Structure 1
Amino acid sequence: MKFSHTLQLNAVPEWIDSYVNYDSLKKLIFQIEKEHVEDINAETDPEKASEHLRDGEAKFISALDAQLEKVFDFYTHKESELYAMLDDLEAEMDGNGDIHNTSEFSHKENLAPLEQLDSTFQNKEYPNQKLEKIAPVRRASRSSRYSFESRMSVDNDGAFLVEQLSDIRSQLILLYISLSELESYVELNRTAFEKILKKYDKVLQGDLKSRYLNKMVMDSRPFMPETMQVLKSQLTRIENSFANAFCGGNRTVALRQMKTHLRDQVTFERNTVWKEMIRQERKVNDTKLIEQKPVKTFKIPFTNHRIKSALLTQLICLTISIAALIILLLVDCFGQKQENYCFALLIFAAIMWATEAMPLYATSCLIPFMIVPLGILRNPDGSVMAAKAAAKATFASMYTGTIMMLLGGFALAAALSKYGIAKAFASHVLSRAGTRPMWVLLAIMFVSGFLSMFISNVATPVLCFTLIDPILRTLPDRSRVAPCLILGIALSSCIGGMTSPISSPQNIVTIQYMNPNPGWGLWFGAALPIAVLSMFVCWGLLLLVYRPASDTPHLNTIKPTKEKITKTQVFICLVTILTIALWCAESSIESSIGDTGIIAAIPLFVFFGTGVLNKEDLNNFLWSVVVLAQGGMALGNAVTSSGLLQDIALRLKDGISHLPVIAILAVFCFLILVFATFVSHTVAALIIVPIVMEVGQQLPVPHPNLLVMGAGLACSAGMGLPVSGYPNMSAIMLEDPSGKPYLTTKDFVITGIPTSIIATCLIFTLGYGIMSGMGY
């Protein structure tokens, strides 16, 4: 949670305007940073630029002084008010002996707060503060309530005494809550000053924190150790008074009762503030949504009802899918019932996935239910498989070593992200990229491509978009750099999706149809050269189209993280390296391991077993991707078992068997590229890769692994539209501070389509040569 939210959540609602205005100070830091970058780009004289930076620091210190003065004024006033109320309340209690059930209590044994505090501080100097404000205002609160003695003089019967005791008890509890909140007020503001000074030093590479914090903040009265000691002594006074008056002198019981009330009060306030924060956030988002994307509705003919256009589109797509299913179930296309039914299910699933009439994973959940009742699966002898055996075979196909490897990849990604390892690596690399846009672009592209290998190309773009925020916030309005950087991250993450077996869901699907499993070593050998060359091609196209240096020759520097390396981070890195090394060596240890999924159990067991990851991290896994892959595998098993896949492959073989293998690979690569561009990388792999495998097996000289791996790599090459993969979807949603999107569909078309075509050509040329050399 951001500290500004933490501050708002933990602040006393009635005092909210008296806390450090953290957000305004942070905005001032970013404004100074932006002006400094503008000086660099304008090639201002270095001495003059340094003078501007010093002026910015002076402006920031002035704002800090104002906030410190505000905190000082509020604290001294509130301290005097609460301490005076406590003195008055004790005086009232001393005025009536019946209140106390023990004569041992006397507040004289406690500290006289303000007198002692004044004597301690009288010889100290406080910059920018008014010591005369320390004088207690003890009589101010007396006029606001009746004294206890005057109430007792009116009526001294037992019922009234009980009422007065209840009133004293309530006042003590309220005072305890108020003083506890004052203690929290001091701690929150101290943290606010520490964090905002740390952010200033990090953003502007200064050393203001050590100077200002020690000389100004910690020397200010609210934050001095003596002040906190006196405040704690007042809480002790209340605890003693409450214990002697209402708990028979038992301070433990008194403390427990008062803390219960404090906890209830804090819970209520936080719940109220949290609801208000959520309400405001929703209000802002809803307003933006109405202004930018009004909800379209459609009037149902012959009725007064309206339906959302998005829901209507879904219903139309669902109707088309069901109609196609029914028609194909009734039409004999292949001469075999099982093949006909399986073809109907395949087309139904393809339409549902392509149109997203329902969420992709929901369609995957429907597939196993349809496979068994339709009687699609067959035994090796050609007979229809019994329902029980078919169910067992279907579920067996849905959880394989490939799924286990996917879960292992999720565990590695979660650990690397949770403990900041991926971010630390990326920030250190980018901090060395300089300030020239072309080199910063190249660095962020290769960082996103590299991270996609290990934390998937779904999570990588989000991380990289966060890393370039210091650059985006300092750019001039309508700068060419912003769309160039964002598009570079998106396209390089798509390219990075082909780099390792766990970098994207389509690779998981591809490996499922490769026999033997290529392992990480062979996959790297084929995929990395293609990915690296595709990155350079994409980089060149982005520089050619956007010319980012034309309006912003120098960018803000990305600062590396300065946190110390922890033992947990070292442990995670060792486990990650060990797991990847075993995956790379899988082919040589296959006789002992059996499957890559067995190796994937290592990070799952180690990370969850040692507490590095917990149940919440497990819940955050991309289970929708897992379910989607499982549904696709169940469908692939059905297509194979029914004989449909072999039938389709034989018919395709008759038309392309005379072509050389490189031409067949090119045909399938461009076919899958079109499908992946307009629909989804994963869906393209689920539907087309099984057919490619069967065609490869039916060739005069079989090359199933070559065609399957080439087709799988081509899935990641589809990046010409905003809907072409998760990275593009994440990029199109980013907006500048004014609420305007950084990218449009035109940006993806101009750069994404040429990059997709060149990457695909590299797959069936360079990739063909490498895979042939590997024996595929």
Structure 2
Amino acid sequence: MRFSHTLQLNAVPEWVDSYVNYDSLKKIIFQLEKEHVDDLNISTDPELALEHARDGEARFISALDNQLEKVIEFYTHKESELYNMLNKLEAQIEGSEDVSNYGRKNSLAPLEQLDSTYRHPNAIDTEKDDQEHPVKKIDMIAPQRCPSRSSRFSRRASRQSFESRLSMGDDDGLLVERLSDLRSQLILLYISLSELESYIELNRTAFEKILKKYDKVLEGNLKTQYLNKMVLESRPFMPQTMDVLKGQLLRIETSYANTFCGGNRSIALRQMKSHLRDQVTFERNTVWKEMIRQERKANDTKLIEPKVVKTYKIPFTHHRIKSSLLSQLISFTIAIAALIILLLVDCFGEREENYCFALLIFAAIMWATEAMPLYATSCLIPFMIIPMGILRNPDGSVMAAKAAAKSTFSAMFSGTIMMLLGGFALAAALSKYGIAKAFASHVLSRAGTRPMWVLLAIMFVSGFLSMFISNVATPVLCFTLIDPILRTLPDRSRVAPCLILGIALSSCIGGMTSPISSPQNIITIQYMDPNPGWGLWFATALPIAIITMFVCWGLLLLVYKPASDTPHLNTIKPTKEKVTKTQIFICLVVILTIALWCAESSIEDHLGDTGIIATIPLFVFFGTGILNKDDLNNFLWSVVVLAQGGMALGNAVTSSGLLQDIALRLKDGISDLPVIAILAVFCFLILVFATFVSHTVAALIIVPIVMEVGQHLPVPHPNLLVMGAGLACSAGMGLPVSGYPNMSAVMLEDPSGKPYLTTKDFIITGIPTSIISTCLIFTLGYGIMAGIGY
């Protein structure tokens, strides 16, 4: 939670204007930061920039002085008011012998037995009961519970005498009312003094945090000087002031205990804290609701027009349907129609192959059009495979339903899925404990202020982080890292779209760099035998990714020319938190896991599969409490289910014989071509599919076919074609819908509510980068893969 929200939530509502105005001070800091960047871009005179920095610091100190003066004035007034009230109450207690003696003689027992002693079992009329026993009003102020058996016994023994006193006459009734009023005043005064104590702590924390933010954002050294010389030397924040305040609270506890609890301070303290807790709970609940209301109001008042939901009238009815739902219904209808037609047409001469082809086309249409969520379609595939009787035994006979179900489910959970979960665990730990952010901020802080170098640094940071925390989470992290740059840019600066697009495209490129960096890589590895491991994957993917990154960087500089309107950018500050033992432990586990994955081929006889290695981070992180069940729930389970559905479909296509049939027919047309030409054909086919549909869906549908074709070539090269095709899936980045990074980038908006990027931005830079990357895959990539024996 942001500290401004914490301050508002914990503030006393009636005093809210007397607290430090944290938000206004933060706005001054960001304004000074923007002015500093403007000075770098407008003037090269260091003395002038230094003078402006001094003027800015003077403005900020002046604002701090105003806030400090406000706090001192309010505290002095409230302290005097509450202390005078306490003095008057103590004088009233000591000067009123009747109340004091009455409270002492009937202190603990009478006040704690009100519910049991003064409520008749047969009493129905509450109002009449209250008139007969006015002392019950005290219980409504501070209900108590008996502490021991001896006290309960003493209350029963004194019952008759206390009841007889209450029935003596009107004077005793008046005395009870005075006693109730006195008790109420003591409790309210205790609450007010406790809130005054909280007021001091909150404002001291506010000064500490705002000074820390000033030093971090503007690279100053103001916190130590101002905090020690001005804040901590002021009356509200002196240690003596807090000691006096605690002494006043002790006076109230003593007075309350002597008057109402027979001198028992522990019971008195418990009662008053109970009322304080109820008061704070009520105020926080009220303030929190108001905060939510204000946040919703603020978020709804954007400068852009609210999005109008387009609807269509259903013929012959009075109902209307949303355009998005209509599009889904049309896509679903097309998929069902294609399924029915293909089930009736004999395309391959075998019923199992025909049915499997119909299911394959149905799934491809459903995934491509997203008639249903991708993972929902994946859940439907196993249900359709078994009743359609697609799977066959090795001898060619149709597999029984029970055996087919077992085969399908065994294909849906494999070592590849376990590797995917292990990657999620690594990503969650690196993100949760700030390791990825700390690494990125330290690298970017050394990139300087020139836009071209900042762009290159943020692109390589996002590409590198995509290797380990996936290219789904990396863009979100990197977008937050460049926020200090975005908020200081002039209006309509070309730097903002350049940086955001650079992060998106480099995250797509980073999606090909490691086996766990993207879902399509997990699917690709499923069809490679033997598993390439991290070492061989790095050897092939990293050179392609690095060259593509430099090409993309050059295109972005050529298209946007970011230095033309903003020659200098704000510097990203590195995180200054100390390295913890937990962070060191996480890094060691990550390094060990990746090292074992790289060495998987040499230890295969002992571990059997990469999925076994993936259990290490899962067991260690969840077993030691580094990750918990909330982190497990935050895994990208939709991606897991999507991959499982694709594997079930791949198993069906293979078992039915359809894949082999398609591969043999394709082989007849391309067998005379060299392997590099076959790889180029499949790479460009996948590039088109991945650009317009999805990287993952492209891998699910086309990679199995590529594998089968590679196995039936005169000189088989299945791993070469499969790995090349898998890398080509990540090369599709020419549209906003081409992968998770692009979808995240296109949703970002500037402070006025206008999107930073449009489809045109992706087309101009993304399509050339996609084509160059694909060419590198079937040229440079082919050479590397052929060299390692693929």
Please give the TM-score of this superposition, normalised by the length of structure 2: 0.89
Deviations 1:380-416 (CA, angstroms, capped at 9, x unpaired): 2222222222222222111111111111111111111
- Of 394, 402, 405, the residue aligned with 1:380 is 394
Equivalent residues of 1:722, 1:728 under 8 A apart: yes
Q: Quote how far apart the aligned CAs of 1:67 are.
A: 1.0
Please name the residue that 1:70 is paired with. Answer: 70
In the TM superposition, what are the counterparts of 1:24-103 in structure 2 within 5 Å? Answer: 24-94=24-94, 95=96, 96-98=99-101, 100-101=103-104
Residue 629, structure 1, aligned to residue 632, structure 2? no
Structure 1 Cα separation of the partners of residues 494 and 574 of structure 2? 25
Please name the residue that 1:541 is paired with. Answer: 555
- Of 208, 218, 224, the residue aligned with 2:222 is 208
Equivalent residues of 2:107, 2:259 under 8 A apart: no
Deviations 1:96-140 (CA, angstroms, capped at 9, x unpaired): 1255226999xxxxxxxxxxxxxxxxxxxxxxxxxxxxxxxxxxx
Structure 1 stretch displaced more, 705-714 or 619-628: 619-628
> Relative to 1, partners in 2 of residues 1:643 and 1:262: Cα closer, same or farther, differing over 3 Å?
farther
Structure 1 Cα separation of the partners of residues 457 and 693 of structure 2? 30
- Of 542, 551, 566, the residue aligned with 2:580 is 566
- Of 630, 637, 640, the residue aligned with 1:616 is 630
Please name the residue that 2:781 is paired with. Answer: 767
Equivalent residues of 1:201, 1:207 under 8 A apart: yes
Residue 421, structure 1, aligned to residue 404, structure 2? no
Structure 1 Cα separation of the partners of residues 241 and 106 of structure 2? 30
Please name the residue that 1:308 is paired with. Answer: 322
Letter in 2 for 1:237: R
Residue 262, structure 1, aligned to residue 276, structure 2? yes
> Relative to 1, partners in 2 of residues 1:226 and 1:705: Cα closer, same or farther, differing over 3 Å?
same
Deviations 1:395-441 (CA, angstroms, capped at 9, x unpaired): 21111111111111111111111111111111111111111111111
Please name the residue that 1:747 is paired with. Answer: 761
Equivalent residues of 1:102, 1:249 under 8 A apart: no
Please name the residue that 1:296 is paired with. Answer: 310
Structure 2 Cα separation of the partners of residues 336 and 157 of structure 1? 105
Please name the residue that 1:133 is paired with. Answer: none
Q: Quote how far apart the aligned CAs of 1:318 are.
A: 2.2
> Relative to 1, partners in 2 of residues 1:250 and 1:399: Cα closer, same or farther, differing over 3 Å?
farther
Structure 2 Cα separation of the partners of residues 204 and 217 of structure 1? 20
Q: Quote how far apart the aligned CAs of 1:174 are.
A: 2.8
- Of 490, 497, 510, the residue aligned with 2:504 is 490
Structure 2 Cα separation of the partners of residues 85 and 323 of structure 1? 83
Letter in 2 for 1:503: S
Structure 1 stretch displaced more, 361-370 or 699-708: 361-370
Structure 2 Cα separation of the partners of residues 189 and 230 of structure 1? 18
Letter in 1 for 2:367: W
Please name the residue that 2:134 is paired with. Answer: none
> Relative to 1, partners in 2 of residues 1:87 and 1:743: Cα closer, same or farther, differing over 3 Å?
same
Structure 2 Cα separation of the partners of residues 315 and 246 of structure 1? 73
Please name the residue that 2:544 is paired with. Answer: 530
Q: Quote how far apart the aligned CAs of 1:221 are.
A: 1.4
Equivalent residues of 2:304, 2:752 under 8 A apart: no
Equivalent residues of 1:102, 1:245 under 8 A apart: no
SS in 1 for 2:387: coil
Structure 1 Cα separation of the partners of residues 79 and 390 of structure 2? 79
Equivalent residues of 2:746, 2:755 under 8 A apart: yes
Residue 701, structure 1, aligned to residue 701, structure 2? no
Q: Quote how far apart the aligned CAs of 1:246 are.
A: 3.6
Q: Quote how far apart the aligned CAs of 1:554 are.
A: 1.3
> Relative to 1, partners in 2 of residues 1:384 and 1:77: Cα closer, same or farther, differing over 3 Å?
farther
Q: Quote how far apart the aligned CAs of 1:260 are.
A: 2.9
Structure 1 Cα separation of the partners of residues 255 and 331 of structure 2? 73
Residue 579, structure 1, aligned to residue 593, structure 2? yes
In the TM superposition, what are the counterparts of 1:315-334 in structure 2 within 5 Å? Answer: 315-334=329-348
In the TM superposition, what are the counterparts of 1:369-768 in structure 2 within 5 Å? Answer: 369-768=383-782
Structure 1 Cα separation of the partners of residues 601 and 424 of structure 2? 22
Structure 2 Cα separation of the partners of residues 277 and 179 of structure 1? 25
Structure 1 stretch displaced more, 3-12 or 282-291: 282-291
- Of 328, 333, 349, the residue aligned with 1:335 is 349
Please name the residue that 1:219 is paired with. Answer: 233
Structure 1 Cα separation of the partners of residues 102 and 685 of structure 2? 89
Structure 1 Cα separation of the partners of residues 346 and 726 of structure 2? 32
Deviations 1:548-578 (CA, angstroms, capped at 9, x unpaired): 1111111111111111111111111111111
SS in 1 for 2:338: helix
Larger Rg: 2
Please name the residue that 1:129 is paired with. Answer: none
Q: Quote how far apart the aligned CAs of 1:269 are.
A: 2.6
Structure 1 Cα separation of the partners of residues 176 and 314 of structure 2? 68
SS in 2 for 1:476: coil
- Of 169, 178, 181, the residue aligned with 2:192 is 178
Deviations 1:580-604 (CA, angstroms, capped at 9, x unpaired): 1111000001001111111111111
Structure 1 Cα separation of the partners of residues 18 and 397 of structure 2? 80
Structure 1 stretch displaced more, 419-428 or 494-503: 419-428
Q: Quote how far apart the aligned CAs of 1:320 are.
A: 2.2
SS in 2 for 1:650: helix
Percentage identity across aligned positions?
86
Structure 2 Cα separation of the partners of residues 378 and 400 of structure 1? 20
Equivalent residues of 1:672, 1:688 under 8 A apart: yes
Please name the residue that 2:289 is paired with. Answer: 275
> Relative to 1, partners in 2 of residues 1:654 and 1:249: Cα closer, same or farther, differing over 3 Å?
farther
Residue 198, structure 1, aligned to residue 212, structure 2? yes
> Relative to 1, partners in 2 of residues 1:662 and 1:75: Cα closer, same or farther, differing over 3 Å?
same
SS in 2 for 1:379: coil
Structure 1 Cα separation of the partners of residues 383 and 262 of structure 2? 69
> Relative to 1, partners in 2 of residues 1:313 and 1:287: Cα closer, same or farther, differing over 3 Å?
farther
Equivalent residues of 1:102, 1:244 under 8 A apart: no
Please name the residue that 2:21 is paired with. Answer: 21
Q: Quote how far apart the aligned CAs of 1:754 are.
A: 0.3
Structure 1 stretch displaced more, 62-71 or 613-622: 613-622
Please name the residue that 1:143 is paired with. Answer: none
Q: Quote how far apart the aligned CAs of 1:34 are.
A: 1.0
SS in 1 for 2:104: coil
What is the Cα-based RMSD across aligned positions, in Å? 2.0
Q: Quote how far apart the aligned CAs of 1:534 are.
A: 0.2
Letter in 2 for 1:97: S
Please name the residue that 2:147 is paired with. Answer: none
Letter in 1 for 2:435: I
> Relative to 1, partners in 2 of residues 1:629 and 1:266: Cα closer, same or farther, differing over 3 Å?
farther
Letter in 1 for 2:296: R
Letter in 1 for 2:4: S
Structure 2 Cα separation of the partners of residues 289 and 578 of structure 1? 50
Equivalent residues of 2:303, 2:753 under 8 A apart: no
Equivalent residues of 1:454, 1:503 under 8 A apart: yes
Structure 2 Cα separation of the partners of residues 281 and 345 of structure 1? 48
Structure 1 stretch displaced more, 392-401 or 175-184: 175-184
Please name the residue that 2:366 is paired with. Answer: 352
Structure 2 Cα separation of the partners of residues 86 and 428 of structure 1? 55
Q: Quote how far apart the aligned CAs of 1:166 are.
A: 4.0
> Relative to 1, partners in 2 of residues 1:391 and 1:176: Cα closer, same or farther, differing over 3 Å?
farther
Letter in 1 for 2:422: G
SS in 1 for 2:362: helix
